A and B are shown apart, each in its own frame.
Chain A
Amino acid sequence: MTQAGTERDVNAASASVSPALRFLQVAFVRLGVLPFLLLIAIVVFTLLSDNFLTQRNLLNVARQSTYLIMVSMGQMFALLTGGFDLSVGTTLAITSVVGATAMVAASVAMPDVVPLAIAIGLLAGFAVGLSIGIVNGIGVALLNVSPFMMTLGMASIGFGIALYMTGGVPVYGMPPAFADVFGFGSWLGIPAPVYVTAALILLLYLLVNWTRLGRYFYAVGGNVKAARLSGINTRLTLFTAYVLCGGMASISGLLLTARLETGEANIGASMPLESIAACVIAGVSLRGGVGRVENVVLGALFIGLIQNGMNLARIESYLQTVVIGVLLILAVVADQLRLRYMTGARD
């Protein structure tokens, strides 16, 4: 009785339309939950800490978020095609370890040509990260392994290899120039990783919105049968999605390695969760076929913002993971709610 009563009240409320509420509802259906979350987060943290809304801190958030932004954009491709990639964390780790090891070896072999040593390290790390994406792609696209099992398996394999290679000890001894440029370098007051990320955002934005391949990701994720009937090579499209995901995680891993100045096997453990959370909060559909690059960037920035704000507010890091989990679930609930409004708009 009470439940029915409240439902009636809700209906009555939405029918009698307070214009402000109506506007909020339409905005929610149009834009999703992210703008609301961002607004709430900014207000709350500004109230909690004086240092939050300062230029210095916001630049800090931007720099800290770059690693997650890159991984999340990669993750988006897997999600667009209706799958996901749980091995992004591992990709980060193995990229870091292999890249650092190769760089150390190269700089020992030829201490005079530092740029070459750095390039060798970068290439080695990128190649191994990319190859994780390639194996994922082969498994998902050609062998029809479910993305869940395939990427979970690869996560275990990659992590195992990274630990085995290093014995669990960080890899030291990279040329200082590497960290100086890619980790701590800045130009016009803006950190180097931010430039790299900005370039990648632009690149992927173009790829997704202005190329055939980009369109095909949506089509394959939205309806693989319709895509096939439209003459699209669905397997190649799926494969490419995972390779892109691996590549993005790999670049992120290299930049993070530069920042940490060591190759580490246990960086990126939180990346699968955080990248999927960033995408979902940004309105990327877990069913595939829906999602926008610019929103994913905002989603990742939002998570960075939350973490930064909680740090400033002296919230314990263990509790922070709780908050991220809660936000993720809230975002999915909001997505469902939105879906209900939207399907209601049909005949």
Chain B
Amino acid sequence: MSAAAAQERGSPAVEGAPLLRLEAITKRFPGVLALDRVDFDLRPGEVHVLFGENGAGKSTLISIAAGALRPDAGRIAIRGKPIQLHSVHHARSLGISAVFQEFSLVPQMTVEENLFLGAEATRSGLLNKRELHRRAEAILARLGFPLRPRQQVGFLARAEQQMVEIAKAFRSELSVLILDEPTASLTERETDQLFRLIEQVKRDGAGVIYITHRISEIRRIGDRITVLRDGRYVATVPADTAEEELVRLMTGRVIEQIFPQIAFSPGRTVLEIEHLSTADRAVSDVSLTVRAGEIVGLGGLVGSGKSEVARACFGLLPLAGGRVTFEGAEVTGASSRQMLERGFFYVPPDRRSEGLVMMRSVRENTTLASLDLAEFSSGPWLKRAAERQAAQRLAERLNLQPPRIEREVDHFSGGNQQKVLLAKSLTREVRLFAFDEPTVGVDVGTRVAIYQFIKELCEGGAAILLISSDLPEILHLTHRVYVMYRGTLRAELTGAAINQETVLGHFFAREAA
């Protein structure tokens, strides 16, 4: 280790060389070729976006760049000097810091303890807590994050935890910053903050490797884009490349439009909520209706209570008041089981924590909510042949890749996991689908598939409640929109009123006043 470090210092940096160059990187996992001779380079002062579908190899590539994984073949060079990255710690000592989607924070510790974990300042062998506190404050102030250094991380919101994770990268000299979908859980304002920060990093001459699925972010901060597909390098293009072209490079096919045209034919009222309030006050006095054959959007900021409305109807939150009517029958306070039996299916936002049993097979997950049906069981006994056929059929219908229904869900890419989650809702007769953030963390290809899926359900006569923080989704897919703000209903919009300004205006409604 020390010999290697000395050697690194010994050989001079090559002038004009890229900050970081990955050449012909190959990474093989048992049974999978995750990366096949992929090239990538990062120049000083640029944001280089990695673009590709889930499973394309982006995560593996940045894990190698961050020292978390070692390539089976290929070369890594920093400022022209060949190097082997031994560990995340080693990479960090060379100025390469990564913020992964999965956080490495200790929930029981404070913000400042987490910031300097593994690099604590000491004075004669003891922790120099005052110095740590001072430095933590300095970093947070520089980044403009509204965090208190002595807050316990476990009590922070996800967005705030992410700030801590980002701040960790700034605790030492930074030359390469790797961000893996950093805005997925950030609000608009926090995103602006992050982008200002990235600008600053660029001015300091560092480089940023940035993974995102959002075209708008590429436009805002990207300089170059490298597209990966199935573990192979496809192309490196400038950031102003047309969206259609990017989608073509990424998926290998042309997609005319991301959002489908949906023929709405609103019929009878399926769900009617009157003056609903939850015991925890996340929802207060909300009334809305959803009819068959329409998609009703439920928009609002993170934490506005839009998700809780559906959860309360689905028997997941204790109610404090109000009435819920489903298909003409009062179901106020009914359990999840009862709602499922009546034909209400709630698709949760976080497939990992709530949606799927990750270590079980696709087949088992697909039918889990429907094992009570005569199709899948008689008495206590399972009909496994019928189950297998149903799972196979749905896997084909949703184009699961690879179509192996006995494989554990955990071993699929995010987009394909999302397909399994959707498949779950197709195993029984459902009259109302509540999709809660159905496209979080999925690539454009899967996104299109999901929209098509929702379209077919709607045109097939189902009622759909689409809960989303993704504005374009709300704008382009819905027939009517309700906007929530701090637990209350702010507006109901139809037709031409469903446009960016009006909806966004209600998102933030009275916050300024």
Contact = CB atoms under 8 A, between A and B. Distances in A.
B65 to A, nearest CB: 15
The binding surface of chain B is classed by DSSP as mixed
A218 B357 contact: yes
A321 interface: no
Given A227-B357, A347-B54, 17 more contacts: A4-B84, A7-B70, A212-B380, A215-B368, A225-B353, A226-B354, A226-B368, A227-B368, A228-B316, A232-B337, A287-B359, A289-B357, A342-B411, A343-B410, A345-B411, A346-B411, A347-B414
Contacts of B380: 211-213
Interface of B: 1-4, 28-32, 34, 54-60, 70, 72-73, 84, 86, 314, 316, 335-337, 339-341, 346, 348, 353-360, 364, 368-369, 371-372, 377, 380-382, 384, 410-411, 413-414, 424
12 contacts: A7-B86, A218-B357, A219-B368, A223-B354, A225-B354, A226-B368, A231-B336, A231-B339, A231-B341, A233-B337, A289-B359, A342-B411
A137 to B, nearest CB: 19
Contact of B84 (A8, A219, A287, A346): A8
B354 A215 contact: no
Interface residues of A, number: 42
B316 A229 contact: yes
Contacts of A4: 1, 4, 84, 86
Contacts of A342: 30, 411
Contact of A229 (B54, B336, B411): B336
B424 A230 contact: yes
Contacts of A213: 380
A295 interface: no
A217 to B, nearest CB: 11
B30 A25 contact: yes
Contacts of A285: 359
B59 to A, nearest CB: 5
A126 to B, nearest CB: 22
A4 B3 CA distance: 12
Contacts of B414: 347
Nearest to B336: A231
A228 B346 CA distance: 11
B73 A15 contact: yes
Given A213-B380, A215-B364, A229-B348, A290 B359 contact: yes
Contacts of B29: 341, 344-346
Contact of B377 (A29, A212, A219, A228): A212
A321 B253 CA distance: 63
Nearest to A346: B411
A300 to B, nearest CB: 23
B30 A344 contact: yes
Contact of B358 (A223, A230, A232): A223
Contacts of A228: 316, 336
Contacts of B55: 347
B397 to A, nearest CB: 20
Nearest to B428: A231
A341 B414 CA distance: 19
B380 to A, nearest CB: 5
A8 B414 CA distance: 30
B30 A345 contact: yes
A230 B34 contact: no
- Among the interface residues A29, A223, A345, which one has the most CB atoms of the partner chain B within 10 A? A223
Nearest to A26: B30
B317 to A, nearest CB: 12
Contacts of B384: 210
A110 interface: no
